[in-house]
Amino acid sequence: MASLNAPPEYYAAEARYRAAKTFEEKKAALEEMLRLCPKHKGAQKILMEIKNKLARLRKEREIEEKKARARKGGRGEAIRKQGFQVVLFGPANSGKTALFNALTGRSEKSTPVPFETSEVVPGIMGVKKVNVQVIDTPSITEENKARVLGLARAGDLAVAVVESEGQKKFFGDPALVEKTIFLIHGRDYDAFDEKSVEAVKEKMFSALNIIRVFTKPPGSEPDYEKPVALRRGSTVADAAKEISKEIAETLKYARVWGSARFPGQQAGADYVLADGDVVEFHAQKRVVKKTK
């Protein structure tokens, strides 16, 4: 330690850090150590260690705060959003998890036991060759209402699975109701009937305002198996961004089949696409600078 050549106050701060129990105490001691630590070349390693400890401490605090917000019913669990997201929610015994399983092909527990679903579960629903993320949530109660409705608000579409018209009042959030499809178990769907489930998928697809755009490399046939899923009103530029950063940055123009006035019409980045359009992207030529 003698080679560090730090003032006595530095070592006092170091001792406080070792004895610290709370986030505030550790943070204050580390910041004091950082301020008092010599800045000469021989101290660079110790300076980096102090900075790393501060960064880890802040990261741990951030994680704990997120967990606390979830426990208190704030914005809910952080689920990595994949493309378009639908959130299922509803009271106990509404058939919500059975519908989730039918939509996604999962096999989560679905029984008459109230509150069987205790965690948030993500799944993928395939509809019209587009993958849509579906989230199953715990049965809604007065205790977890804020948490579940927070998840529903965060999705692109919310689907309330209920047993009667009267249960709609339970949610009491006008803004959420506007983006919610209400499905009454036994009337609007049957989770064990394939045609009924497909009809629900179509209804969700329509409510999400998805358009499918098919790509076509110059001189090749269109790829009709893997459409690019976009929100209605999206442009050629939006499609390019969805595919890759490189295509978006080098885009010069596109040729469009479908909604265009004539097949293969040249279109700019702001051209608004329609469902079923085929798009062929053309890039600007990269200029290679000659070195002397």
- The CATH number of whichever domain residue 24 belongs to comes to 1.20.58
Instruction: Let me know if residue 288 belongs to a domain.
Output: no
Q: Where is average pLDDT lowest: 52-56, 129-133, 165-169, 285-289?
A: 285-289
pLDDT of residue 118: 58
pLDDT of residue 66: 60
> pLDDT tens-digit profile of 3-25?
678 888 988 999 999 998 888 89
Instruction: Let me know if residue 76 belongs to a domain.
Output: no
Residue 214: domain span = 210-283
Examine the domain organization and report whether 116 and 192 are in the same domain.
yes
pLDDT of residue 67: 56
Q: What is the mean pLDDT of residues 200-221?
A: 95
Q: Where is average pLDDT lowest: 81-95, 104-118, 175-189, 256-270?
A: 104-118
The yes-or-no verdict on residue 116 having pLDDT over 50 is no
Residue 259's contacts (CB-CB under 8 Å, 6 or more residues apart) are: 273, 274, 276, 277
- Angle 276-279-282 from CA coordinates, rounded to 5°: 175
pLDDT of residue 266: 97
We report the CATH number of the domain holding residue 174 as: 3.40.50.300
We report the CATH number of the domain holding residue 227 as: 3.10.20.30
β-pair partners for 210: 231
Q: Where is average pLDDT lowest: 33-37, 69-73, 152-156, 203-207?
A: 69-73
Task: Express as a percent the part of the chain with pLDDT over 90.
Answer: 48
Instruction: Let me know if residue 289 belongs to a domain.
Output: no
Examine the domain organization and report whether 94 and 142 are in the same domain.
yes
pLDDT of residue 287: 54
The number of folded domains in the chain is: 3
CB-based contact 243:163 (threshold 8 Å): no
The yes-or-no verdict on residue 237 having pLDDT over 90 is yes
Examine the domain organization and report whether 136 and 200 are in the same domain.
yes
Examine the domain organization and report whether 178 and 239 are in the same domain.
no
The yes-or-no verdict on residue 94 having pLDDT over 60 is yes
| Rounded Cα gap, residues 199 and 203, in angstroms | 6
| Rounded Cα gap, residues 292 and 288, in angstroms | 13
Examine the domain organization and report whether 187 and 103 are in the same domain.
yes
Examine the domain organization and report whether 173 and 221 are in the same domain.
no
Q: Where is average pLDDT lowest: 14-23, 46-55, 115-124, 180-189?
A: 115-124
Instruction: Let me know if residue 171 belongs to a domain.
Output: yes
Could you say which of 207, 229, 245 is where a domain stops?
207
Mean residue pLDDT of the chain comes to 85
pLDDT of residue 120: 87
> pLDDT tens-digit profile of 21-39?
888 899 999 999 988 888 8
Q: What is the mean pLDDT of residues 111-124?
A: 66
| Rounded Cα gap, residues 223 and 208, in angstroms | 23
Instruction: Let me know if residue 167 belongs to a domain.
Output: yes
Instruction: Let me know if residue 10 belongs to a domain.
Output: yes
